[in-house]
Structure 1
Amino acid sequence: MIPRILIATTCVLLLPATACSQAETPPAAAIETASGELIIRDRSAAGSASLHQGREGVVIRIEADDLPQDARNQWHGVHLHSIGDCSSEDFTSSAGHINPSGRQHGLLNPEGPDNADLPNIWVDGDGSIRAEVYTTRVSLNGSDALPALLDEDGSALVIHAGSDDQTSQPIGGAGARIACAVITAT
């Protein structure tokens, strides 16, 4: 049996460098779409979120029906949360906003926005939502400059009880979490 060190030395001396290097794992194919089932606090399905990676950002489509009576005919804050977990009754298992750079909350905040900030959405009188928003502050796969929605612990889309004022901390006064969707690759 030849000692391991001798094999390595022989490889370096006798073979081109590329022949000795370990085979590189090809990069995983970039994920282009993701989705999540939107649930409300009673754990019933209320709709869905679909996400599509674009060249410079992510398009998020939110569709829901029959949201609770007290959520109707008003604006609601929507944010991307840092953990893909909607298991707790109040959806706090999704943790806080995706915000690796520590920026202030709010699309209108001069010290913001953080990566999780999205525009408000409207819930109609029948409890339905049909909205599409675009963000350049995250990506499905991540990059040197942007956090990944589909990282190791995932992420969630959360709808809050009230409108986000887009400036105050930490969530623009948007209130409790009323709906949540774990984002997964499709």
Structure 2
Amino acid sequence: MTERSPMGDFGEATLMSPDGARIGRATYRQGPTGVLMQVEVERLTPGWHGMHIHAVGDCSDPAFQSAGGHVSHGDGAHGLLNPGGPEAGDLPNLWVGGDGRGRAEIFTDRVRLAASGPGAPLWDADGSALVIHAQPDDHQSQPIGGAGARVACGIMAAG
């Protein structure tokens, strides 16, 4: 039988660019077996962008290094296609159109908002952050799939 989390927890993140401009929003809701996320961005370079949940809820420096590495909690190597992975924070790439806008809806069973249940906890003592990278994630290369610089960051907080 699959372990289930209590449903209903909800959160959001305001996505900021390195210069501090608001460029998007992410919302997320706890489901019985994982978290459903919706992401909307603007003013990004057209094309694919790597997107990950990072282990620390801190976007205070312009390079967003304060968000730490991906949420992993020992789940494996980086990459949705890596035989040793994925890490809990690995997500599919985000597509951004020619107008600089992107939208995605993603479900992951590797994280949780709820205090108990399956997946790595996002609302732990130091929180978590959603980070978008400049390049696509190849879902195999270590440590970040070749996704490059961090171009957007949002602290994942309770809504």
Compare relative contact order (CA 8 Å, sep 6+) and give the higher one, 1 or 2.
2
2:139 matched residue in structure 1: 166
Structure whose residues are more often helix by fraction: 1
Which of these residues, 26, 41, 45, is aligned with residue 49 of structure 1? Answer: 26
Structure whose residues are more often strand by fraction: 2
Which of these residues, 74, 86, 97, is aligned with residue 101 of structure 1? Answer: 74
* 1:37 shift after superposition: 0.3
Deviations 1:27-71 (A, max 9, x none): xx976100010001110000100001111011110012222xxx2
How many residue pairs align between the two structures?
A: 154
CA distance in 1: counterparts of 2:117 and 2:39, whole angstroms: 27
CA distance in 2: counterparts of 1:93 and 1:136, whole angstroms: 25
Question: Structure 1 segments of 4 or more deviating over 4 A?
Answer: none
Amino acid at match of 1:81: H
Report if aligned partners of 1:106, 1:165 keep a CA contact under 8 Å in 2.
Answer: yes
* 1:148 shift after superposition: 1.1
* 1:142 shift after superposition: 4.5
Matches within 5 A, 1:147-158: 147-158=120-131
Report if aligned partners of 1:80, 1:155 keep a CA contact under 8 Å in 2.
Answer: yes
Q: Say yes or no: does 1:39 pair with 2:16.
A: yes
1:64 matched residue in structure 2: 41
TM-score w.r.t. length of structure 1: 0.79
Report if aligned partners of 2:75, 2:85 keep a CA contact under 8 Å in 1.
Answer: no
Bigger Cα Rg: 1
Give the CA RMSD over aligned residues.
1.5
SS at 1:93 equivalent: helix
Report if aligned partners of 1:142, 1:149 keep a CA contact under 8 Å in 2.
Answer: no
Q: Say yes or no: does 1:85 pair with 2:58.
A: yes
CA distance in 2: counterparts of 1:57 and 1:30, whole angstroms: 9
Amino acid at match of 1:92: Q
2:94 matched residue in structure 1: 121
* 1:156 shift after superposition: 0.2
Amino acid at match of 1:33: F
* 1:150 shift after superposition: 1.0
Deviations 1:104-151 (A, max 9, x none): 000000000000000001011111111111100000125364221111
Q: Sequence identity of aligned pairs in percent?
A: 48
- Segment of structure 1 superposing worse, 141-150 or 157-166: 141-150
CA distance in 1: counterparts of 2:147 and 2:34, whole angstroms: 24
